[in-house]
Amino acid sequence: MAVITIDGPASSGKGTVAKKVAGQLGFHYLDSGAIYRALGLMVINAQLKKNDIDAILNLIDKMKLSFTNNGRVILNSLDVTEIIRSENVGMMASDIAKISEIRSKLHNFQQGFNQPPGLVTDGRDMGSVIFPQAELKIFLTASVEKRASRRYSQLHKSSDSVTIAVILCDIMKRDKQDCERSSSPLTYDHTFKVLDNTDLSIEETVQTIINWYNLSGKC
Ligand code: DC
């Protein structure tokens, strides 16, 4: 069964790209960030602190998470697709994602999404930890300015109060936290293909990955 992993920093476009690659290949898609975000939302709603590790581990047992075919994220029967995208949920997700006990409890949960005919998944450690044997492992990145401007365009549609300076700061803080944590940091090695899409469109990025996938195993 084929697995393609797409890891990379916040707002590198990995979610949009991974979804389209999965669509073109007829594979399943797993947004692993949505799992951390959903848990982050539960932590906020339960008014827990990010270091209440035992209580957060208990929340995982109560987390019933599913992804619909039309891209909605359902948490304990509620549609949380939009709310988990907010900046405060993203920051909580990044905070709790540093905790190794939480990461190991989510390990098997994520591997369970590997179903025929194949899987495309995006996150921070999908190629390094969760699916190290994947056929194709991509590290997708873009300049921090480009990523902030993409995020700004996305958020500006729903909120006028957001500024690009705040987003730039949030992204830099999240990059630092995701790269410097001791448990499964955002990283890559020689087994990954690095794709910088600062100057590429979504379609060009998708096509590059499909071409690499078609060539994988042939050279
Ligand atoms: O990809 P995203 O921005 O939706 O992810 C939200 C946070 O979740 C991110 O800051 C780090 C964490 N995360 C992680 O640690 N490992 C993953 N595989 C996916 C996300």
- Residue to mutate, 5, 7, 11, 36, ligand 1, most ligand atoms under 8 Å from C-beta: 36
Q: Could you report the per-residue pLDDT of 160-169, keeping only the tens digit for each? A: 678 899 999 9
Which residue's CA is the closest to the ligand 1 atom numbered 1? Answer: 33
Cβ of 197 below 6 Å from ligand 1: no
Confidence of residue 192 (pLDDT cuts 50, 70, 90): very high
Measured in degrees and rounded to the nearest 5, phi and psi for residue 139 equal -110, 105
Higher pLDDT, 55 or 219: 55
Distance in angstroms (rounded) separating the CA atoms of residues 157 and 185: 31
Sign of CA dihedral 17, 18, 24, 25: positive
Closest CA to 89 of 149, 35, 53: 35
pLDDT at residue 139 is higher than 60: yes
Cβ of 90 below 6 Å from ligand 1: yes
Q: Could you report the per-residue pLDDT of 87-119, keeping only the tens digit for each? A: 899 999 999 999 999 999 999 989 999 999 999
24's CB contacts (< 8 A; 6+ apart) are 206, 210
Four-point Cα dihedral 92, 96, 97, 101, nearest 10: -170
Report the mean per-residue pLDDT for the chain.
93
Weakest-pLDDT range from 57-61, 152-156, 173-177: 152-156
Cβ of 175 below 6 Å from ligand 1: no
Show the beta-strand stretches assigned E in the chain: 2-7, 28-31, 65-67, 73-75, 78-79, 118-123, 136-141, 193-196
Share of the chain above pLDDT 90, in %: 84
Distance in angstroms (rounded) separating the CA atoms of residues 14 and 188: 15
Domains in the chain and their CATH numbers? Answer: 2-215 (3.40.50.300)
Higher pLDDT, 175 or 70: 175
- Residue to mutate, 11, 29, 32, 182, ligand 1, most ligand atoms under 8 Å from C-beta: 32
Distance in angstroms (rounded) separating the CA atoms of residues 81 and 86: 10
Distance in angstroms (rounded) separating the CA atoms of residues 165 and 199: 21
CA-based radius of gyration for the chain: 17
Cβ of 84 below 6 Å from ligand 1: no
User: Given this model, what pLDDT does residue 218 score?
Assistant: 54
Residue whose entry in the numeric block shows the structure tokens 């987003």: 167
Share of the chain above pLDDT 70, in %: 97
Confidence of residue 69 (pLDDT cuts 50, 70, 90): confident
0.75 exceeded by pTM: yes
